Amino acid sequence: MVNRRASASLRLAVAGVLLTGCVGACGSDDDSPSTESPNPSSTAAALSPVPTSVPTSAGSTAAPTEAAPDAPEAPVAAGTGRAVPSDSGPCTSNQLTTRVIRQASREGGTQASALVTLTNVSNRGCTVEGWAALRLADGDKSAPLRAEKVLQPAPPNLVGVPPGRSAFAGLRWRACSPPAPTCLTGTRIEVTPPGTKSADRATLIGLSAGGKSIAMEAPQISPFQPSTQDIVNW
């Protein structure tokens, strides 16, 4: 019986030695696949998005920006370079003063021209569009100056006239001598701005000096423009 117990103890001892050796050998086997868990911090770094900021100088970067939406613009009159305020209405006669300014003749002979200006003397912007109506007057008498409406130097457009600014038209005619039936005379010019019904006595510059009569025939007038460029050169 003692022999049986000794034999059993010997078998258990051998089995323990074999098991211990297997564990050491298996842990050092170079061909065994690695079961090492990935480092969470290195995985997160690999999946992080690439920053979109752009370096502005050494050691600093600018935060990414988004394009701002376009700001609304004030409407601009077609064919002009002057913005028309969105709350502007047509100019009234009490907002405007008028001048007619004689221009130097480039053609010589009997051809003459003048610049007609409408100046906004109010504190509110307004608009003009089209042609003025003119009258020649002398004393208490006046008569329409039936000028031909031309599309020069450009067709009529809506022109914004801010406070203190002006719109311009060109007036051309041929000098004449009364009493020719086509020769119109007067000592002053009255201007009715487009869209209004009241005539304004224009300040004359270079015309009717000393009360002398203005004499003209075949008058032509242009629509109002935002500048004087080519205003009488047509």
pLDDT at 136: 92
Per-residue pLDDT reduced to its tens digit, 108-129: 678 899 999 999 999 999 999 9
Q: How far apart are CA 132 and CA 112, in angstroms?
A: 18
When mean pLDDT is compared across 22-31, 84-93, 95-104, the lowest value belongs to 22-31
In the chain, alpha helices (H): 2-27, 40-47
Look at residues 171, 167, 170 and name the one whose alpha carbon lies nearest to residue 119.
167
CB environment 176-199: b (16+ within 10 A), e (fewer)? beeeeeebbbbbbbbbbbbebeeb
The CATH class for the domain spanning 92-221 reads: mainly beta
> Distance between CA 154 and CA 49 in Å, rounded?
59
Residue-level pLDDT at 154: 94
Q: Are 97 and 166 in contact (CB under 8 A)?
A: no
Which band of pLDDT confidence, cut at 50, 70 and 90, is reported for residue 139?
Answer: confident
Domain boundaries, the chain: 92-221
pLDDT single digits (tens) 168-189 = 999 999 999 888 888 999 999 9
Backbone angles phi, psi at 64, to 5 degrees: -60, 140
**Helix, strand, or coil here: 148?**
strand
Question: How high is the pLDDT of residue 85?
Answer: 61
Cα–Cα distance measured from residue 169 to residue 29, given in angstroms and rounded to the nearest whole number: 102
